[in-house]
Amino acid sequence: MDAFILLGSFAALMLLGMPVAYAMGLASLIGALWIEIPIGAIMISIASGVNKFSLLAIPFFVLAGAIMAEGGMSRRLVALAGVLVGFVRGGLSLVNILASTFFGAISGSSMADTASVGTVLIPEMEKRGYPRDFATAVTVSGSVQAILIPPSHNAVIYSLAAGGGVSIASLFLAGVLPGLLLGTTLAVMCLVIARKRNFPAERRIPIREALKIVVDALWGLMTMFIILGGILSGVFTATESAAVAVIWAFFVTMFIYRDYKWSELPKLMHRVVKTLAIVMILIGFAAAFGYMMTLMQIPQRITEAMTSFSDNRYVILLMINVLLLALGTLMDMAPLILIMTPILLPVVTHIGVDPVHFGMIMMVNLGMGLITPPVGGVLFVGSAIAKLPIERVTKALYPFFIALLFVLALVTYVPAISLWLPGVALK
């Protein structure tokens, strides 16, 4: 009955249209009143949830990504991708995927990726003969890489939701190979479609022009090397590398590229603070919700229920994947990580799945939710940029969903894809 009161009140508040964060907070209060614990305990859990040093990585990464996104980085990354892959048939679709790989390694945000790359490439692809719905589908599916390739904000949130026992550095490194696997799979899909529909190839860029493009883009790409290099060398923690990345992004944007006006910086800071306020409220209320679930022993009950159904690791992982795919169509990614990690992590650790590996399973799973109706935020952004109805873009996404499911299956059932790099680099 305790679990029904907590989860039922949360579901009811969501159905009434209350924002997820407030629904979690109010459901936690209702649950506390039901089991007669002091309201002060909920307040303490909210404060404790946001009073963590590792959380500082989120505002720094968001700010660094915002500075680079609005400072001309996306245009330079598109040009760099064009030098590398634009000359093959359907090359502009490959440019789109590769630009998302580069930009994701800087922004860590799928929405920022779609907005930045899509604004440049969707109109350009349509001008070169690609259907607009196909161009939009490539853009939104390619942006899922940003939640896997470091620095992923969602990896930090997963580390927090897992109780801080999962290293952010391990999660960052674990996301590299799944992210590259996803990009490669999407690129192969684009090549197949390009050959079938006879899409054009772009001109080969002369060496002198190509070198200039590469040098221009490398200033921004250094942000990625600062983050990963600092962590791997032991010079920075993940949080410290994020702070250094902000300084570097500011220097490159304002003094090297100089495409951004100083007068625009206050507006940028205002947008970043608004975003972070929403995230921190969500994290605080999710901590209270998780505290109530622990008191009511909900994770233990779910573990017992799943393992009583089957003790086969592959079957349980399949059940979890189906559950997360379904939930991902109904809720945004960050709330789901915060809600489902405390519930599902005991289940997967009980069957011998590494928490870092499970983090990558969640990222790929819920990343698909970002481009799936009815609440796929990245899908909405891509459709708005292309000025197309959601239904038309969703139809164009069908082949890319197949590619994403293929990657999800590999990441789920081949742990080495996620665990090999952290095991080698963090010995």
CB-based contact 272:264 (threshold 8 Å): no
Tokens of 2: 């305790």
CA nearest 141: which of 173, 105, 176, 94? 94
**pLDDT value at position 222?**
82
Q: What is the pTM of this model?
A: 0.85
Tokens of 145: 């890489």
- 3-class SS shares of the chain: helix, strand, coil, % to 5: 80, 0, 20
By three-state DSSP, how is residue 18 classified?
Answer: coil
Query: How many of the other CB atoms lie within 10 Å of CB of 264?
Result: 11
**pLDDT value at position 427?**
66
Distance CA 30, CA 400 (A): 42
Q: What are phi and psi of 257, to 5 degrees?
A: -75, -45
Residue with structure tokens 């490669």? Answer: 184
Percent above pLDDT 70 for the chain: 100
By three-state DSSP, how is residue 16 classified?
Answer: coil
Cα 72 to Cα 68, 137, 226, distances in angstroms: 7, 23, 19
Residue with structure tokens 């949080």? Answer: 239
Instruction: With cut-offs at 50, 70 and 90, classify the pLDDT of residue 243.
Output: confident
Distance CA 223, CA 106 (A): 6
Partnered with residue 201 across adjacent β-strands are: 89
- The predicted-structure confidence for 142-161, as pLDDT tens digits, reads as follows 999 989 988 888 888 898 88
Average pLDDT over residues 76-103: 82
| Helix spans in 296-397 (H) | 298-309, 313-328, 333-350, 355-369, 377-386, 390-396
CB-based contact 169:231 (threshold 8 Å): yes
- The predicted-structure confidence for 244-295, as pLDDT tens digits, reads as follows 888 888 888 888 888 788 888 888 888 888 878 888 888 888 888 888 887 8
Per mean pLDDT, which range of 61-65, 94-98, 312-316, 384-388 is the poorest?
A: 61-65
Distance CA 83, CA 202 (A): 10
Distance CA 330, CA 378 (A): 13
Residue 199 DSSP symbol: P
Tokens of 131: 């259907």
Q: Would you give the distance in Å from CA 344 to the centre of its chain? A: 19
Average pLDDT over residues 321-336: 84
CB-based contact 89:199 (threshold 8 Å): yes
Cα 405 to Cα 197, 247, 364, 396, 401, distances in angstroms: 23, 38, 9, 16, 6
pLDDT for residue 397 is more than 70: yes
Packing angle, helices 207-233 and 91-107, rounded to 10: 30
Residue type, 289: F
Tokens of 82: 């064009």
261: alpha, beta or left? (left if phi > 0; alpha if psi -120 to 50): beta
